[in-house]
Amino acid sequence: MVITNYWVDMNFLFMILLLFLIIIVFQFYFVRKTSNTILHLFPRIKLELFKKIRWIFVAYVNLLPVGILLGVVYYFITKDIIEFPPLSIIINYLFVLPFWIYFVILLQSIVFFLIIDVIRLVTYPVYKKHKDQILNGIYKAQFVLVIFFSVYVPARIIYDFNSVEIREVQYHRPVDERLKSAKIVLISDIQADPYTNDARLSRFVNKVNSLNPDLILIAGDLITSGKYFVDISAKYSGMLKSKNGVYSCVGDHDNWVDRSNTEQSLRTVEEALAKKNVFMLDNENRYFDINGAKVEVSFVTNTYVETIKNEALKTITNGGQPADFKIFLTHQPRQKLIDAAIKNNYNMYLAGHTHGGQITLLFPFINLSPTLFETNYVKGDFYFGDMLMIVTRGLGMSLAPVRYNATPEITLITFK
């Protein structure tokens, strides 16, 4: 056990150091590009004053990652975990949000800087011949990009934080006539925490209830982590109303009330929800009577903490009763689970987990997001024959306390 914890700690330290190195490299490229641009376009700027202002700004916005790194080093020396950043509105507005807004501006700008550099490299003979004119145009383009994203990024982050969209999805396949007036609501990743607070949760719940659904399904992640927000999440989940109740599968973060005891963490979340008549089901089938039609929902647990075994998956998907409509509900959109749902004639596969990309960069023809490293099913609807898979964008956030081009979503499922 000691060896296991040692290697887990070392892997965690390696990941933190790698992320810190990536942040440094990205910033070096971005700061160098923007500095050269400003100095070229505004030659009257006093160089020494400009350098001082630049490094003061960079030092300020990086107080958050430096603090996190020092906290990690402190943990490895003392084995005592300190909460950083601390739960404080002042800390949030002075240090946390400035870093993340700056870092998203940086990432969004770098994408286009790299395109400019690649074009310049590919057309080097032409660039070399007309260097002065082309370079002047490049500096102007880079300046416009930075100014635009310096306005757009914070505005979009504020919009995505304060907005919730209702997205209606119609199931366009033959269906039992009794279901044609049915409404099922899919939500996910509520993730109560210091950022997904009472105001956001209340607004979200009111919008869900305004739809008057026949059934509410949650694709997991009721909290982000820690014990502080379990009761808050249960409180607002308990305010959700539907004719056939509110049910959830298990999400990744539901295991992390206490990361050293994931089984007890999950029980804590399940018990808090049950007190509010919200039921989190772990590898179980349930049947609902919706307008006289029998709807089967398979609640499948497949998370970072627990990967479902083949035998258990076979039992759940094969051992159910006959039903007029079959729904496969799980947290993550995994290919293994999608294949199992298709094989066993499910009509619908529902998932969350991705937050719609959470941070999705503007780019021609494709939505660039770190989530693409994990799955191609970032958000939206995907048909596999007669089976419709819906990946909802959810509400909350993890790792970064911001959403960018990933507006929270309530998915209303209707039948046609």
Q: 34-49 pLDDT, tens per residue?
A: 999 999 999 999 999 9
Tell which phi-psi region holds residue 263, choosing left (phi > 0), alpha (psi between -120 and 50) or beta. Answer: alpha
Distance CA 281, CA 361 (A): 35
* pLDDT, tens only, 92-104: 889 999 999 999 9
Model confidence pLDDT, tens digit, residues 351-393: 999 999 999 999 988 889 999 999 999 999 999 999 999 999 9
CA distance 224 to 234: 13
Report whether pLDDT(202) > 60: yes
* pLDDT(2) > 50: no
CB neighbours of residue 83 within 10 Å = 8
Q: Where are the alpha helices (DSSP H) in 62-130?
A: 63-78, 89-91, 97-122, 124-129
pTM: 0.91
> Rounded to the nearest 5°, which phi and psi values hold at 114?
-65, -40
Q: What are phi and psi of 292, to 5 degrees?
A: 90, -10
* Positive or negative torsion for Cα 264, 265, 266, 267: positive
Q: How many CB atoms lie within 10 A of CB 325?
A: 22
- Residue with the bigger pLDDT between 348 and 92: it is 348
Tell the residue number behind the tokens 């070096």, with chain if given.
Answer: 28
Tens of pLDDT, residues 58-111: 999 999 999 888 888 887 788 776 666 666 778 888 999 999 999 999 999 999
Domain boundaries, the chain: 2-160, 165-415
Say which residue, 282 or 84, is predicted with more confidence: 282
Any residues with CB less than 8 A from the CB of 45 and at least 6 apart, and which? 38, 39
Residue 132's pLDDT band (cuts 50, 70, 90): confident
Q: What is the CATH T-level fold of the domain 165-415, as seen in this structure?
A: Purple Acid Phosphatase; chain A, domain 2 (3.60.21)
**What are the CA-CA distances from residue 274 to residues 51, 93, 238, 280, 322 (Å)?**
58, 35, 9, 8, 28
Q: Write the DSSP string, 197-255.
A: -HHHHHHHHHHHHTT--SEEEE-S--BSSSSTTHHHHHHHHTT---TT-EEE---SGGG
- Torsion sign (Cα): 359, 238, 313, 345: negative
pLDDT tens digit string along 234-265? 999 999 999 999 999 999 999 999 878 999 99
Gap between the terminal Cα atoms of the chain: 54
Q: Tell me which amino acid residue 61 is.
A: V
